[in-house]
Amino acid sequence: MEKIKTITVVGAGTMGHGIAEVAALSGFKVYLADIKQEFLDNALSKIKWSLQKLYEKGVAREPVETVLSRITTVVNVDDEGRYTEEFAKILRQTDFMIEAIPEKLELKKQLFKFASDNTPSHTILATNTSSLPITEIASATDKPDKVVGMHFFNPPVLMPLVEIIKGEKTSDETVNTTIELAKRFGKQTVLVKKDVPGFIVNRILGRFLNTACLLVDKGVASIEEVDATVRYTLGMPMGAFELADYSGIDVFYYVFKATSERGFTITPCKLIEEKFKKGEYGVKSGKGFYTYPEPGKYRKPEIPKELAGKVDPSLLLALPVNEAAWLIRNDVATKEDIDKAVKLGLNWPKGVLEYADEYGIDSIINALNRLKELGVREADADPLLLEMKEKGLLGRKSGKGFYEYGEIEEIEKETLLIRIEKPVAWIILNRPDKLNALSPTLLKELSHALDELEDRNDVRVIIIKGSGRAFSAGADVTAFAGVTPIQVLIFSRKFQELTLKIQYYSKPVIMAIHGYALGGGLELAMSGDIRIASEDAMLGQPEINLGFIPGAGGTQRLPRLAGISRAKELIYTGDMIPAKEAYRIGLVDKVVPPERLDQEARALALKISEKPPLALMAAKYAINLGMETNIWTGLNLEASLFSLLFSTEDVIEGVTAFFEKRKPRFKGK
């Protein structure tokens, strides 16, 4: 590595000029070669513009001219198309060459042969190809051990990832030096141990975009439904179709074509082909899957949030996860590198395997089977996934999947089951044969469970749900037999205290509602922070049918959530309403298919559990207390809690992480 002083970048296009800029910014002497002076001039002016921006932002400390002075351009072919003597001379002084010329194998082989003939023995020859085999490029040289893949992402100055690809004959020393150089460039690396088409990122992205496309093609979902789910449910920075438009549908078309020609089986998706043939490439042509009033100018398409979750996220994740499993099983990359690659290369908030663990290996396999039924050829579950399912390694819910999450603790009470999947705790109402009717014992146990979980730092979010076929069919009516009004008063007060405990609990509480949520069941659900209901949920306050009224907050919380008249109608008639109607009137926050209820609740809980616990607590207090008082008191409370948070370590962490462009790690201190 110490030997590397001079770097030659061949090809001054989009990638080449960016790589040359990165190398110059890192202090290396750089030669930038291309076939025409005009390409080089264009590259230099782009580099200059970019350096100026970096300098203004304070990212680059050296003045533009200093960095530029390290770059020398060279025209490397003569009028007859032969490499010039000047180019050969430069290669003789080169310690490291990075090729970024058009993706044509013959062209690359010619260049590598010439480079191999004209560089000193120590010189490493790297290719930035994204679709051609490194091994074959290397075969044109006398030193295949010195040929390596170095795949940058666009734009190289900003994207933090470089995939380093080992060809069949690449030596470990070459790989190590290339990794070190990428680090000197300020990049993070992942190692692709075998030269497979598409490496890590493009294989996974290819599967992801193609699934999105096929789901629309086969009428399973609309473009907006897919994109809303990708953006809002999976939390990715852009929808799948939005990303295709942004990067250029033509680019993906060619990458898919090149990789499938190399044996990467991919079920063709008509939609992409049609767009390509019509010349509707996306942002650059003003129309792709969405329209852009000013061609070339990106404008975030409007994607309605309520469409999120209309398509099962497991369907979108299944093929990317299957691909990742293939990469691991074939020893192409480690699971850590795969996740790092998608996070840094695609800006996914989580690694593909982290998603798999979150959604569950079993649901990924089910989704693969559904895709298979739709005619997706490559949807056969990878043996690794089948083996994991067989061994019960299902992900977070079993404590271990691709990663370990620590032991799942299960505590069984008389009427509850408490399941701790750190950092989430599930409290499961467990009287299934009585539709989880809320007996005095259940209420007492629920209250104790909340107290115990409140003290645990490793639990950040609580989910309450029911076992069997209901969330809860309400207060246990049998407990009302022969009781005095005073005893009922005490019961009512106790139950109300429990709902207040949840309302002012220091951690977020999510209610996952399926089946019946009636009477006290609905009152319990209304005291939580967020309610997710499955499509089969039926909600209501049927007390009137028994001759009484709701006694655990129903007359107070229902109007606050659904408005006075809707609350009155529900309470006066005692009617049950289905989940969709409950969503419409604001009683639940989201409706999902029954089989996805747990998974959605877990995903939301995990998302919230990454946020600063003390700020979550403050937000909860400010909102809940504020809603019960006038705006002056509410604002005062907000200001006090806001300022109080500035005494926490988490604020320092949050702000520091923001500036360091990394994900914060909050401790709740």
Cβ closest to ligand COA, residue 442 vs residue 530: 442
Give whichever of 474 and 528 is closer to ligand COA, judged by the CB atom: 474
Name the catalytic one among 323, 421, 523, 638. 523
Among residues 176 and 545, whose Cβ is nearest to ligand COA?
545
Instruction: Report in angstroms how near the CB of residue 484 gets to ligand COA at its nearest.
Output: 17
Active site includes 56?
no
Per-residue tokens: 632: 């002056």
What are the residues facing 74 on neighbouring strands?
33
Q: Which is nearer to ligand COA, 155 or 468 (CB)?
A: 468
Q: Is 219 left (phi over 0), alpha (psi -120 to 50) or beta?
A: left
**Strands 96-99 and 71-75, bridge-based pairing:** unpaired
Shortest Cβ distance from residue 239 to ligand COA (Å)? 40
Q: By the 8 A CB rule, do 552 and 475 touch?
A: yes
Alpha helices in 185-301 (DSSP H): 201-217, 223-228, 240-247, 249-261, 270-278
Given the complex with ligand COA, which of 240 and 538 has the nearer CB atom? 538
Rounded to whole angstroms, the Cα distance separating 254 from 259 reads 8
Active-site residue among 543, 569, 600, 610?
543
Q: Which of 289, 220, 241, 260 is nearest to 377 (CA)?
A: 260
* Shortest distance (Å) from residue 275 CB to ligand COA: 50
Phi, psi dihedral angles at 279 (to 5 degrees):
75, 20
Place of tokens 């141990």: 193
Q: Give the interface with ligand COA as residue ranges (CB under 6 A).
A: 434-435, 437, 473-478, 516, 518-520, 542-543, 546
3-class DSSP state of 312: coil
**Residue with smallest beta-carbon separation from ligand COA:** 519
Minimum distance from residue 573 beta carbon to ligand COA (Å): 13
Nearer to ligand COA, 478 or 647 (CB): 478
Tokens 């990165």: give the residue: 22
Q: How far is the CB of 538 from ligand COA (least distance, A)?
A: 8
Nearer to ligand COA, 70 or 514 (CB): 514
Residues in the chain: 669
Q: How far is the CB of 499 from ligand COA (least distance, A)?
A: 14
User: What is the rounded distance in angstroms from the CA atom of residue 340 to the CA atom of residue 58?
Assistant: 27
- Min separation Cβ 559 and ligand COA, Å: 19
80 catalytically annotated: no
Phi, psi (deg, nearest 5) at residue 79:
-60, -25
H or E stretch covering 28 = none
Task: Round to whole Å and give the CA distance between 316 and 213.
Answer: 10
- Which residue, 549 or 564, is less far from ligand COA as judged by CB? 549
Under 8 Å CB-to-CB from 378, ≥6 apart: which residues? 207, 265, 266, 267, 319, 322
Please compute, for residue 406, the number of CA atoms within 13 A of its CA located in the half-sphere on the CB side. Answer: 10
**Hey, is 334 helix, strand or coil?**
coil
C-beta separation of 528 from 558 below 8 A? no
- Nearest distance in Å: CB 505, ligand COA: 24
Enumerate the β-bridge partners of residue 190.
Answer: 163
Question: Which sequence positions are flagged as catalytic?
Answer: 523, 543
